[in-house]
Structure formats: structure tokens, C-alpha cells
Amino acid sequence: MKAALRTTLRTILRIVLRIVLSWTAWPGLLLLCLLATAAGFAHGIPVIAFNLTYFSLAIVLLLLERWMPHEVAWTRADGQLGADILHTLLSKGAVQTLIVFSSAVGLAALITPLAAPGNGIWPRHWPLWAQVVLALTAAEFGLYWGHHIAHKWKPLWRFHAVHHSVKKLWVVNTGRFHFVDSIKSIVPALAILVLLGAPLEVVTWLSAITAYIGMLTHCNIEMRFGYLSWVFNTPELHRWHHSKDLREGDKNFGENLMVWDWIFGTYFNESRRPPVDIGIKDQMPARFRDQLVWPFRRPVVLVDDGVGIAGARE
């Protein structure tokens, strides 16, 4: 009798804990990441703090994915673990390091004199948090249109299709991007901040926040968001974005914020469960090196699906 009662209580506790975590995990983990990053800046070790925070977040999300997955089907192996890791390290990671950090530190002042203190129109007298919010909104314009165009212009879509070819969403394929697709995304956002004269500290904060939200967006964890999805790019919005149905998939182009999706009419979030069957209808090679070459070899195929002209995604 006592054993049965203890089992029942543990079951109830587990259910309650999952409900609480489903509402608090996303904002709570993001807040903890921001606090850890702020501590890194305060102690003069922002890069070290970012890397420790980023990998700690990955570990926590992987554990939560096993304990409370959004889609059980997505917990099964898809044969892409090696390719996803290589894309993250050699494509997305390398491009982000070279362009965001190296360029921001060593080349920003050479690109335009507006990047130097006292020039440009950037409000450096604002509190740092307000400058970071402004940077998120301004850079999001470049991220939004870079992403949007990659879905509409078929030569760019072939590179972006490497990311959309995933059959499941989880932490490990967060960085699955072709290097051309990564460049296309990062350069416009960075250019906007440089032209406005944003300081390096603000650019670094933007890079860190984008990395955190990107991982949170891709996680396969049962979560609830409410009004958060009106403002931020959350997993529920990104699951719609990966739909094979272009009426759902060609929506929610925001990287961090949804402001430009609201303005340009591409926000999408219906009160039903997003599809579990995601990806593209073409066959993507299984090996990393073949995926890098695939966009250069794949011809543009146009199909009228009754909704519009679809390319490699069909």
C-alpha cells in the first residue's frame, strides 16, 4: 500500500514538474544564459563565458529532450548525427567565427568610418540593454530578408535546403547550415550594425543571444509559450517553418524576434499541433561532403503546386 502511494506521488510530482518546466524552461534558460554572459563581460572574459554557457545550454537541452520530448518520433536516430555536427563546426561555426568575431574585432573600422566611436547614428549614450534591444531589432531586418529571400529565390534556396532537409528538430541540428547559407544570413545583419556604428560590445551581445535563441528554437522539448511567441522566435513557430506545406513553411522567417514577420505579414501560428513530418520532398545526400556539393549540382526544378511555384523544396 505504501509502495503504491509512493509510486502515485512520484508520478504526480513528475507530471507537475513537467507542466511547470513546459512553461518556464524556455524563458528561464534564456535568462540564465543572459546572466552568465553578463557575468562574463563583467569579469572581462565574454568569449570564455559564452562558450561555457553555450555548451552548458546544449547539455541541459539534450537532457530535457530525453525526459520530455515534444515529438517522440524525433528522438529516434536519423543517421545525420555526424553530418549535423560537421555542419555546426565546419560550416556554421567557422563562418560565424570568421565573420562575426574576427570581422567585428579587426575589420569593422576598415569597412566604414561609421563604426568608430563618435560616428554614425548609433545611440551610444543609451543603457547597454537598450542598445542590445535596438541591435536585435535592426539586425533582425537583415536576418529576416536574408531568410525570406532564401525561400523565394531558387539559387539561394538550394543552399538553405540543406538546413530544411532535416527530418526532425533537435539541439544537434541547430547549426546545420551550408556555409553559403550562413554567410548570406550573417553578412546583412552585421552590415546593418556596422553602418549604424554599433560598438563591438553590442555586436558580441547580439551574436551570443542569436546563438542561444537558435538552440532553444530547435530543441525537441514539450514547451508552452503563450505571448512569448508573439515577440520571440520560439520552437512552436519554428516547427511551422519546417513544414513541407509551403502555406505553413514559408512563414516565420525571424531569427530572434518576430517583429518583421508581423510587419510583412508572414507570421504564422495556428491553434493545432505542427506537423511531425518535416523536411523537403527531394532527396538530400546523407554524407556531409555530398551535402556541401549538392546545391551546386542540383538544377532548379519548378513545379506548380496550385499555390505557387515551388522549387527544390517540392
Q: Give mean pLDDT in consecutive 10-residue pieces for the chain, a chain of 314 residues.
A: 73 87 96 96 91 94 96 96 91 61 48 53 94 97 96 94 96 93 88 90 91 96 96 97 95 97 97 94 92 81 42 44
Local structure of residue 45 (DSSP, 8 states)? -
The continuous run of DSSP H or E covering 310 comes out as strand 309-310
Phi, psi at residue 278, to the nearest 5°? -120, 175
Q: How many residues does the chain have?
A: 314
The reported pLDDT for the residue numbered 306 is 42
Here the cell at position 213 is: 535563441
The reported pLDDT for the residue numbered 233 is 97
Contact predicate 279/163, CB 8 Å: no
pTM of the model: 0.87
Whole-number Å distance between alpha carbons of 78 and 147 = 25
Phi, psi at residue 303, to the nearest 5°? -130, 130
Contact predicate 54/210, CB 8 Å: no
Here the cell at position 135 is: 541591435
Q: How far is CA 13 from CA 7, 18, 19, 20, 115, in A?
A: 10, 9, 10, 10, 54
Whole-number Å distance between alpha carbons of 177 and 161 = 9
Whole-number Å distance between alpha carbons of 313 and 246 = 9
Return the number of other C-beta atoms located less than 10 Å from residue 133's C-beta: 15
Whole-number Å distance between alpha carbons of 313 and 301 = 9
The reported pLDDT for the residue numbered 314 is 43
The reported pLDDT for the residue numbered 1 is 67
